Structure 1
Amino acid sequence: MNTWVHALLRPEPVAITVLLVIISSLIQGMRRGASGSAKHLFFFIWQAVTVVLSLLLAGRAAEWLSPLLRDWLIKQNVQVPQQELSTLKQAWYTIVTSLRDFELLRFGVTFLLAYAVFRFLLSWLEPLCSMFFESFLRSRDTRTDEGYSRFSGAASRATGALIGALLGAGRAFVVIAVLFVYVSMLPSGPLTDSIRASAFYNKSSAELLTPVAGDVLARGPVFTEAVEEEFRRVLQRKYEVIDSAVPANIEQAALTVTKNAGSDEKKARALYDWVGTRIAYDWDKARNYEQHGIWKEQTPTETFNTHKGVCIDVARLYAVMARSAGLEVRVVTGLGATGNGGYGPHAWNEVRLADQNGAWIPLDATWASSGDWFNPSGFSSTHLREA
């Protein structure tokens, strides 16, 4: 106990926050008295139980519902129309096809919906529990003489303070649990070093949380990376939906460029040469984003007409033209070598050669002016694929 108190009284942010939570709860408990404090403690425990129960039930429900939703969406045979779509329809097709094709997203959505349903259903029991609990409290107060009332007021405040302290301890535990999840899921996130430096946090997490959830949350960074990758896949799907309608002039240009190509590889190469020599890198757009955080979304049509764009714009234009020429292609996001030993956000393409056993080859038309980046050896050493 002494080591807990010593850790709590150290002047550092986590301990100060926990101490303030406990003290404020104790003061509130003293003001409310025994009955009011007992009621707040009861509903704190009730909320904690319903949250845990809802999470467990939602997990089981999502495991059952996710495959059913996938099979149902597959049967609907949703195809993105090859025409210009409104913003609402773009969002609709992006969501529907992503739920159909991306397992983690589908599980997450079904989990959240199931959790909301179970929480709603359990909330209907709260008034009934409240009625029984208040009836129980009233039945405990049967003596009304003045002397006892004076004593009862002091005793009630003292009891309320004790219950408030217990409630504060519960709230403090929630604070530590939230910090524990945050540090486990985002080990390199903001303020994680300060949290880890807290003696009280280290003692609490080591003795209370790690034995219960440590093994699960040890995989937190892996789960976080999976969520980030799923998000990038959804973003890529959004681009695929937006770019599904190919303007006639871009389609005609793609067919003209590839008309003498006799294989998928030669088609991909011809388009690489054409895009790589005609689209200049838009340094102003890149600097505006890097220095001011201002991003200008750009369609393949704009890139085609202005002959300017950054890596994602070049990759999207290449993908549109490659699909027009009958190639299967995808936009890949990740990190590209910067030339000074570092890496920065980048985008490029991968093309499937159906006439060569379906092999996928990488290419980077954005870098075409600096060398031959059409499926060169060592491509993976300069391009780190993330999606």
Structure 2
Amino acid sequence: MNMTMLTTMNFISVVLAVVVIVSMVQGAARGASGSMRHLLLSVMEGAVTLVSLFAAWKGAELLSPVAEGWLTARQIEIPAEPMSFFRQLYVTLATSMRDFPLLRFGIIFLLAYVVVKQLLYRIVDGITGRALAAAAAGRDGAPSFISAAAGGAIGSITGLGRAIMLIAVLFIVTTLFPHSPAASYIEGSQLYQKGAKEVVAPFTGDLIASKLPVFTRAVEREFANILQRKYEVIDANVPTDITAAAKEVTAAGKTDEEKARLLYKWVGSRIQYDWDKVRDYEEKGIWHEQTPEDTFTTRKGVCIDYSRLYAVMARAAGLDVKVVTGLGYDGQGGYGPHAWNEVYLKEKNAWIPLDSTWYSSGGNWFNPPSFAQTHIRDGA
């Protein structure tokens, strides 16, 4: 094999071919009866999985509203006092389960899937008994030539099934990330294209091609909301010195917008960007976690620290505020991880964005018209 063949070879095709060949060899080694038992066991495993998924989905649809009602009735609030780690975890999980339907559905679905699958395994094992034990054992001794040939044929069927499952996974990847280098490489495999076009796409219809990306974006948005809830819980206890400072800073503000803008200028001008913290993380992999009180005391931090301090000061001043994570323009043609805030203005009945971290860089980063061009929030 020369270097030209190696460079032009698509390894997706190689992997798919190897999956079928290995299954064929395994089938020949098991013989006809062993391969048939293995195939039946694989089919049974697939059937149990499909039934479990369907039952869990329906169960989650029924139980999710019940769980929401039960959690709402408990009236769980985020306490404005110091909490232990486990108390924070409980409040975050309980309020997120109550307020975020996809998270609630997903957790119930996973729990139901595990329970239903285990129950079905017990039922199937009780019915099949010795057949399942024999299939798990696998071998009948050295198979004859005819038995080995038949086993190889059966093994190739098993291999095709495995290859199709792998193609389905790759199909999902190319659907979710259609413009990525990985998608281009995957679609360069002729074996993948044949399986995707003739088997996976007709079988799934528009479920993957159109509905999965929409569902994925909804999950991303909800995940961003869960991160927001985490900061709400962690930073719920506002120290008295920060509360006093927030009230002093916003004392001249008559409206929510005036108060929010005063806080934006104060945080942006008083806090210095901590380049040493960034270098420790980028060069040594060390992340220095700090609370809003740490940022307030040291007057140093990075974007998430600016945003968390702004949030607790805004709440102390009576404003509704969010910590938003996503990507920020780096000024060099790219984007990097970033955090900023959104604050609710009652007089405008709207959430508006602001970036106190960028205040010292010049320009207006309090709800400018071009904000969305330089900031991409998670789940957008």
* TM-score, normalised via structure 2 length: 0.87
Q: Is 1:278 matched up with 2:270?
A: yes
1:200 aligns with 191
Supply the distance in 2 between the matched residues of 1:12 and 1:338 (Cα, whole angstroms).
35
Instruction: Tell me the residue number matched to 2:17.
Output: 19
Q: Which runs of 5+ in 1 are unaligned?
A: 1-9, 138-151
Task: Within 5 Å, give how 1:202-351 maps onto structure 2.
Answer: 202-219=193-210, 220-351=212-343
Query: Could you say if the C-alpha distance between residues 293 and 213 of structure 1 is closer, same or farther in structure 2, counting changes exceeding 3 Å?
Result: farther
Q: Which structure 2 residues correspond to residues 118-197 of structure 1 after superposition, within 5 A?
A: 118-131=116-129, 133=131, 153-187=144-178, 191-197=182-188
Q: How is 1:32-181 mapped onto 2 (pairs within 5 angstroms)?
A: 32-131=30-129, 133=131, 153-181=144-172
Query: 2:181, 2:332 → 1: CA distance?
Result: 26
Note the C-alpha offset of 1:189. 5.6
* 322-331 or 161-170, larger mean C-alpha shift: 161-170
Show the counterpart of 2:138: none
Any conservation in 2 of the 1:186–1:224 contact (CA below 8 Å)?
A: no
The Cα of 1:361 is off from its aligned counterpart by: 2.8
Q: CA deviation at 1:292?
A: 4.9
Deviation at 1:217, TM superposition (A): 0.9
Corresponding residue pairs, total: 363
C-alpha change, 1:20 and 1:265, in structure 2 (3 Å) is: closer
Q: Which moved more, 1:80-89 or 1:23-32?
A: 23-32
Partner of 1:372: 364
Report the secondary structure of 1:125's partner residue: helix
| 31-40 vs 262-271, which moves further | 262-271
* Per-residue deviation, 1:282: 1.4
Q: Distance in 2 between matches of 1:163 and 1:357?
A: 68
Secondary structure of 1:79's aligned partner: coil
* Letter in structure 1 aligned against 2:301: G
Q: CA deviation at 1:29?
A: 2.0
Q: Would the alpha carbon gap of residues 88 and 187 (structure 1) be closer, same or farther in structure 2, given more than 3 Å must change?
A: farther
| Secondary structure, counterpart of 2:129 in structure 1 | helix
1:359 to 345, 350, 372: 350
Q: What amino acid does structure 2 have at the position aligned with 1:229?
A: R
Structure 1-normalised TM-score?
0.86
Q: What amino acid sits opposite 1:196 in the alignment? A: E
CA contact (8 A) 2:224 2:324 kept: no
Equivalent-residue separation in structure 2 for 1:168 and 1:325 (angstroms) = 64
Q: 1:56 to 1:340 in 2, by over 3 A?
A: same
Per-residue Cα deviation, 1:238-271 (whole angstroms, up to 9, x for no partner): 1111000111111111122223333322222222
Secondary structure of 1:344's counterpart equals strand
> Share of identical aligned residues, percent?
50
Q: Is the 8 A contact 1:187 1:221 kept in 2?
A: no
Once the two structures are TM-superposed, the CA of residue 53 in structure 1 deviates from its matched residue by: 1.5
Would the aligned equivalents of 1:315 and 1:348 in 2 still touch at CA under 8 Å? Answer: yes
How much has 1:335 moved relative to structure 2? 2.9
Distance 1:273 1:44 in 2: 64
Give, as a single letter, the amino acid of the residue that structure 2 aligns with 1:195. Answer: I
**Corresponding position of 1:7:** none
Distance across 2 between alignment mates of 1:379 and 1:13: 43
Query: Which amino acid is 1:316 matched to?
Result: R
Q: Which runs of 5 or more structure 2 residues have no equivalent in the other structure? A: 1-7, 136-142
The Cα offsets for residues 18-59 of structure 1, whole Å up to 9 and x where unpaired, read as 222222222222222222111111100001111111112222
Q: Which structure has the greater CA radius of gyration?
A: 1
Q: Deviation digits for residues 147-205 of structure 1, max 9, x if unmatched? A: xxxxx944333332222222222222222222222322343567333211100000111
CA separation of 1:266 and 1:203: change in aligned 2, threshold 3 A: same
* Shift, 1:67, TM fit: 1.8
Change (3 A) 1:375 1:280: same
Check whether the contact 1:15–1:198 (CA below 8 A) recurs between aligned residues: yes
Aligned residue identity for 2:313: M
Asked if structure 1 preserves the Cα contact closer than 8 Å seen for 2:125 and 2:132, the reply is no
CA RMSD of aligned residues (A): 2.5
Letter in 2 for 1:101: D
Q: What is the identity, as a one-letter code, of the residue corresponding to 2:339?
A: A
2:16–2:191 CA contact under 8 A, matched in 1: no
The alpha-carbon distance between structure 1 residues 379 and 164, as it changes in their structure 2 partners (threshold 3 A), is closer
Residues 33 and 254 of structure 1: CA distance in aligned 2, closer, same or farther (over 3 Å): same
